[in-house]
């Protein structure tokens, strides 16, 4: 295999798959840092980058402050009522100051929320938000403040602390860790994966089959007159030139190892049994129609599966990307604010994440994976005259998975301002994810990853609220069922036992078709009490018992995914 061709391709970054994505000279000369401890859990974090600055107010629409919301952005406001396409009320059980509605194309996200798989965090930013795409993204990736310039990223520093006693990249892959520590979808390796004084801990990847074929087809490197492998004479081994070239030659072997491993895992894993969304089903600009998130999530599910328990990759962090959020103009269609490029993006994320969660569940992987979004900033509270929004500051973060603590953290933004004010520092969200999901020690988070106490809170004036955030769960058990039962309930009949009549009451948290039926003790359906669509909230039905004999009966409720049964005793 010709190493000269391989070196050219990697160093020029002209191929779609890179190992590091930075100049080879830096990769060879920078000292390698010894990792601190071996990873002791199989949990995975997926970071979903919403490139361009997401407009959070058209994702999470204020309910109680809707009139103010509409007055500030009338030309792009999502309708609250009297429309076929209107906002979806998220959760009527929340305090009024936290109640929001979802964009109508986020119906799949509402489904996930109702079963306890989504957490929203309002007003996430950092002090003195920069407002620049490039600088803002660097700040959120490096895990620093507005005036910091770190050469490493918070995930890279996390991975430095997670694996040992090996050194990366010298001792990787190895028997304990055959897989890349992190994988970024696409052709770049972002700052978020850079280590302190070392190369990035990730590789970039679109298609493991293509990746394997690329490495396999590289021609051998032959430097006539020196060595058939192109290796310098032994007396140069300890020279800067010798060390650099030895490192480059080792890079090829590492690429082959990773390529073969990812290829085998991929082909051993079955294609998804779940149907993922491919296109936006309504009107949007042509460039917004295809769901670019779908192939990335399908690939991750397949790599994590690997064909059976313990066969998938042990990669700890994945970065997936979806762009198009820089919506200065034509964020919505002029004739319908619920349609357009931003609506398509909301559909793409909600529907693809719903399919991904279903895919993970079907593969038995749902307990292992948590996804969190990131965007360099939010948009202004007021819209502009071009049916769009300009660069702002704060915005919401979305989290998905069985490991989230579902609900809404924080309040609806103050809509009298020009910008969404910060309620939580972005590092506080990530620090709590590291602590409660990735199970990283607090001292490590504070001293080696974020350099300040972003779990219980730094003492910087004006830096937001630093109470520990309930965003993820250390133990996955009971949280979701408690969440569901607080929002969907068939109440006990009253009176019960009953004679002539009783009242059947229930509470639902989403608009849905409701079926309420009376069964006898043998399971025979005696009477349909209700079969119609009902809005969220409390409902009751009076049941006349005159036609029924004394005995034990069952009342069964079905509302969407929710089913519950209660006993009714009739006495004569």
DSSP 525: E
Query: Does the pTM exceed 0.75?
Result: yes
541 forms beta bridges with: 504
* Contact criterion met (CB below 8 Å) for 168 and 202: no
8 A C-beta contact, residue 108 and residue 350: yes
pLDDT at 222 over 90: no
pLDDT attached to residue 230: 52
Kind and range of the H or E run holding 212: helix 208-217
Predicted confidence (pLDDT) per residue in 404-418, tens digit? 999 999 999 999 999
Q: Residue 30 — very low, low, confident or very high, per pLDDT cuts 50/70/90? A: very low
Q: Which region among 20-34, 53-67, 225-239, 295-309 has the lowest average model confidence (pLDDT)?
A: 20-34
Tell me what the mean pLDDT of segment 18-27 comes to: 30
Half-sphere exposure of 279 (CA within 13 A, CB side): 8
Q: pLDDT exceeding 70 applies to what percent of the chain?
A: 81
Residue 572 has pLDDT above 50, yes or no: yes
- What digits encode the pLDDT tens for the residues 307-360? 998 899 999 999 999 999 999 999 999 999 999 999 999 999 999 999 999 999
Interior CA angle at 33 toward 28 and 38, to 5°? 130
| CB distance 529 to 541 below 8 Å | yes
Q: Looking at the predicted structure, is the pLDDT value of residue 236 above 70?
A: no
Q: Which residue has the higher pLDDT, 80 or 165?
A: 80
CB-count burial class (<10 Å; 0-12, 13-18, 19+) for 461: exposed
Range from 69-73, 91-95, 219-223, 344-348 carrying the lowest mean pLDDT = 219-223
Burial class (CB within 10 angstroms; exposed 0-12, middle 13-18, buried 19+) of 471: buried
Please give the helix or strand (H or E) that residue 293 lies within, else none.
Answer: helix 293-305
pLDDT tens figures, 158-211? 998 888 656 677 778 888 888 888 888 887 778 998 888 766 777 777 776 766
The b-or-e profile of 226-264 (16+ CB within 10 A means b, else e) is eeeebbbeeeeeeeeebebbbbbbebbebbbbbbbbbbb
In this predicted structure, the answer to whether residue 432 has a pLDDT above a threshold of 50 is: yes
Residue 171: partners with Cβ closer than 8 Å, 6 or more residues away:
none
Mean pLDDT of the chain: 85
Number of neighbours of residue 309 by Cβ within 10 angstroms: 10
Window from 116-130, 210-224, 533-547 with minimum mean pLDDT: 210-224
pLDDT tens string 82-137: 888 999 999 999 999 999 999 999 999 999 999 999 999 999 999 999 899 999 99
Please name every residue paired with 489 in a beta bridge, in sequence order, or none if there are none: 507
Percent of the chain with pLDDT over 90: 67
The answer to whether 288 and 281 have CB atoms below 8 angstroms apart is no
Q: What is the model's pLDDT at position 216?
A: 55
> Residue 389 in contact with residue 76, Cβ under 8 Å?
yes
First and final C-alpha spacing in the chain: 90
Say if residues 387 and 75 touch (Cβ distance below 8 Å).
yes
Domains of the chain: 3-480 (no CATH), 488-570 (2.60.40.2550)
- Please give the pLDDT value at position 468: 73
How would residue 456 be classed by pLDDT, with cut points 50, 70 and 90? low
């Amino acid at each position: 295999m010709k190493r000269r061709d391989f070196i050219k391709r990697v160093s020029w970054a002209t191929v779609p798959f890179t190992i590091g994505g930075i100049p080879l000279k830096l990769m060879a000369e920078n000292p390698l840092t010894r990792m601190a401890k071996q990873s002791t859990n199989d949990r995975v974090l997926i970071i979903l980058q919403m490139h361009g600055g997401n407009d959070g107010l058209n994702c999470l629409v204020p309910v109680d402050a809707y009139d103010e919301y509409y007055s500030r952005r009338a030309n792009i406001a999502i309708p609250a009522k009297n429309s076929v396409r209107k906002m979806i009320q998220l959760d009527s059980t929340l305090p009024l100051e936290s109640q929001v509605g979802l964009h109508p194309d986020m119906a799949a996200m509402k489904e996930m929320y109702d079963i306890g798989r989504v957490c929203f965090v309002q007003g996430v930013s950092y002090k003195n938000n920069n407002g620049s795409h490039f600088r803002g993204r660097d700040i959120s990736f490096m895990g620093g403040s507005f005036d910091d310039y770190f050469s490493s990223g918070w995930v890279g520093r996390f991975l430095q602390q997670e694996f040992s006693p090996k050194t990366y990249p010298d001792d990787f892959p190895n028997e304990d860790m055959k897989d890349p520590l992190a994988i970024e979808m696409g052709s770049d390796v972002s700052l978020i994966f850079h280590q302190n004084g070392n190369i990035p801990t990730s590789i970039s990847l679109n298609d493991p089959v293509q990746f394997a074929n690329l490495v396999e087809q590289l021609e051998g490197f032959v430097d006539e007159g020196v060595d058939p492998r192109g290796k310098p004479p032994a007396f140069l081994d300890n020279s800067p030139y010798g060390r650099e070239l030895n490192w480059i030659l080792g890079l090829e072997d590492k690429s082959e190892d990773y390529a073969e491993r990812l290829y085998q895992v991929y082909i051993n894993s079955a294609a998804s049994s779940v149907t993922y969304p491919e296109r936006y089903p309504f009107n949007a600009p042509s460039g917004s129609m295809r769901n670019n998130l779908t192939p990335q999530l399908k690939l991750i599910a397949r790599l994590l599966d690997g064909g059976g328990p313990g066969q998938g990759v042990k990669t700890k962090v994945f970065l997936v990307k979806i762009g198009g959020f820089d919506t200065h103009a034509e964020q919505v269609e002029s004739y319908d604010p619920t349609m357009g490029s931003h609506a398509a993006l909301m559909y793409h994320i909600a529907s693809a994440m719903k399919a991904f969660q279903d895919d993970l569940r079907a593969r038995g992987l749902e307990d292992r994976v948590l996804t969190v979004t990131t965007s360099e900033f939010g948009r202004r509270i007021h819209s502009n005259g071009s049916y769009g929004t300009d660069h702002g500051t704060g915005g919401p973060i979305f989290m998905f998975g069985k490991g989230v603590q579902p609900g809404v953290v924080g309040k609806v933004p103050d809509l009298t301002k020009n910008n969404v004010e910060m309620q939580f520092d972005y590092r506080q969200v990530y620090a709590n994810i590291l602590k409660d999901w990735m199970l990283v020690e607090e001292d490590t988070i504070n001293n080696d990853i974020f350099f300040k106490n972003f779990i219980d809170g730094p003492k910087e004036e004006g830096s937001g609220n630093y109470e520990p955030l309930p965003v993820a769960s250390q133990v996955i058990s009971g949280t979701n069922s408690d969440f569901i039962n607080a929002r969907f309930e068939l109440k006990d009949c009253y009176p019960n036992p009953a004679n002539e009549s009783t009242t059947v009451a229930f509470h639902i948290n989403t608009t849905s078709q409701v079926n309420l039926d009376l069964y006898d003790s043998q399971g025979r359906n005696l009477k349909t009490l209700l079969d119609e669509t009902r809005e969220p909230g409390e409902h009751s039905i009076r049941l006349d018992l005159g036609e029924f004999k004394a005995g034990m009966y069952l009342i069964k409720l079905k509302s969407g995914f929710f089913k519950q049964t209660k006993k009714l005793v009739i006495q004569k």
